[in-house]
Amino acid sequence: MLRSTVSTKNESAAVPGFRVPRDLTIPEEGSTSARDVLSAAMRRALAELRRLPARPPLPGDSRAEHAAFARTIDALFTSPGLAASLVRRPTIGTLLRCLRKPQTPDQALALTRALRAQLAFELACLGALPEPVELGSLPDQVLSIPANLALRFPADATAARFHSGRVTLITPRGEETHEIDAWATEERRPDFVERPYREITPALRLALVDNNPLQMFEAHPDKEGNAIDLGGRSADEWCATLRDALDLIATHLPTLRAEIDLFVHQMVPVGYDDHKHLSASYQEDIGTIYLTLHPNLMTMTEAVIHEFSHNKLNALIELDPVLENAFWPLYTSPVRPDPRPLHGVLLAVHAFQPVARLYERMTAVGHPRAQSPDFQRRFAKIRGINHAGADVVLSNGRPTPVGRSLLDEIRRWDDYYGAQDFPESLPEH
């Protein structure tokens, strides 16, 4: 095990009291770095949610709905554990983070309304709404991962009233009240309600719905957004493949596997491709990873580790910029065809170093897959990607104190792999 020499007494200037993580890239056994980072990021989100009602109503907003939201938030924060649980959910946390810098007043209003409805629905599902909440401006849908529900508001719904355990839809025909528990049975579930989450593991779901406003924003030149798409495969096949990938991680990187359960709530399918794999994650959407399905289990396992690692680094960047020159100038990337800011190169190295550790561990125990020449060639390629990326970041990055700790860890692992005598490939048989 490569041990850290970084002191844990340093604190982020951006978040007083937050201790610098020493092993956020490849966790040591018993590490709490990922948990500490996530907890601090959630504390920031909680503070932002608590402050939202203090803002004046936006132009065009309902003062009554704004006041009702304030009462809901006041009541919610009498149960700090419940509040923390809700902001951890990507269905709520993503909307909250998107509200930091809306691009237009209309977008700010739409996000505010979506957040109100989403929070009211989640509390209604939990039976924890302190008072009924009536909303006249509704998003297209509200979701609950734990309840496995998606409520897509009918086109003629002019308002909805949320109660603990119930939802009342208001239409020109009158009011219709639905018991949420009744939606668990198909025969009592209306056509505007779905159960869109499939179990991968007890802690992780395959999501066939998504309320991320940035879902179709795509930075990769080979992709056009992240629309939900099973790629002609069944949800069962997706879940089985992802389960196998997670089992492989659990066997060879058990501490990192435990971190995945801590961070990730849902995996969103975005197509099938047997030639290449494209995955994605978003700074604002901590708890979600987007994946294409690929027939090679190692490719899928790499993608899970890669996007989960982005979630960890995104949570850290919630607390500290990490690099003072993160977004300019641009540099050649070892993994992308387009020039990238150092932020992007850092994301790549931070994600590929634990992938290298997986290949190393599988090789060390003589895993059958590691006996393949293709496996060892891929391992060699990953080490080359990591070294090239680390050289770009370490040579050009101007880190903050928190960023220095992260770069020191990357440097240690780069030195470690540079000193090892791994075969470039195994002989063909």
Whether 264 contacts 252, CB under 8 Å: no
Q: Which domain holds residue 251?
A: 247-263+273-419
Residues 257 and 390 both lie in one domain: yes
Domain-located, residue 220 = no
Residues 184 and 301 both lie in one domain: no
Residues 259 and 392 both lie in one domain: yes
Domain-located, residue 403 = yes
Domain-located, residue 187 = yes
pLDDT tens by residue, the chain, 429 residues: 333 333 333 444 456 667 788 999 999 999 999 999 999 999 999 999 999 999 999 999 999 999 999 999 999 999 999 999 999 999 999 999 999 999 999 999 999 999 999 999 999 999 999 999 999 999 999 999 999 999 999 999 999 999 999 999 999 999 999 999 999 888 889 999 999 999 999 999 999 999 999 985 555 444 466 889 999 999 999 999 999 999 999 999 999 999 999 999 999 999 998 877 788 899 999 999 999 999 999 999 999 999 999 999 999 999 999 999 999 999 888 877 888 899 999 999 999 999 999 999 999 999 999 999 999 999 999 999 999 999 999 999 999 999 999 999 999 999 999 988 776 655 454
Residue 56: what pLDDT? 92
Residues 287 and 415 both lie in one domain: yes
Domain-located, residue 15 = no
Closest CA to 164 of 195, 132, 137, 135: 132
d(CA 274, CA 260): 25
Domain-located, residue 327 = yes
Task: Choose one of 195, 215, 230: the last residue of a domain.
Answer: 195
Task: Choose one of 178, 195, 212: the last residue of a domain.
Answer: 195
Residues 284 and 410 both lie in one domain: yes
d(CA 258, CA 1): 18
Residues 158 and 297 both lie in one domain: no
Residues paired with 396 in a beta bridge: none
Residue 224: what pLDDT? 60
Domain-located, residue 306 = yes
Residues 338 and 412 both lie in one domain: yes
Residues 83 and 186 both lie in one domain: yes
Domain-located, residue 213 = no
Residue 126: what pLDDT? 98
- Structural domains in the chain (count): 2
Residues 191 and 285 both lie in one domain: no
pTM of the model: 0.91
Residue 7: what pLDDT? 31
d(CA 81, CA 261): 18
Residues 286 and 141 both lie in one domain: no
Domain-located, residue 325 = yes
Residues 379 and 259 both lie in one domain: yes
Task: Choose one of 177, 195, 213: the last residue of a domain.
Answer: 195
Residue entry with tokens 């844990």: 8
Residues 394 and 257 both lie in one domain: yes
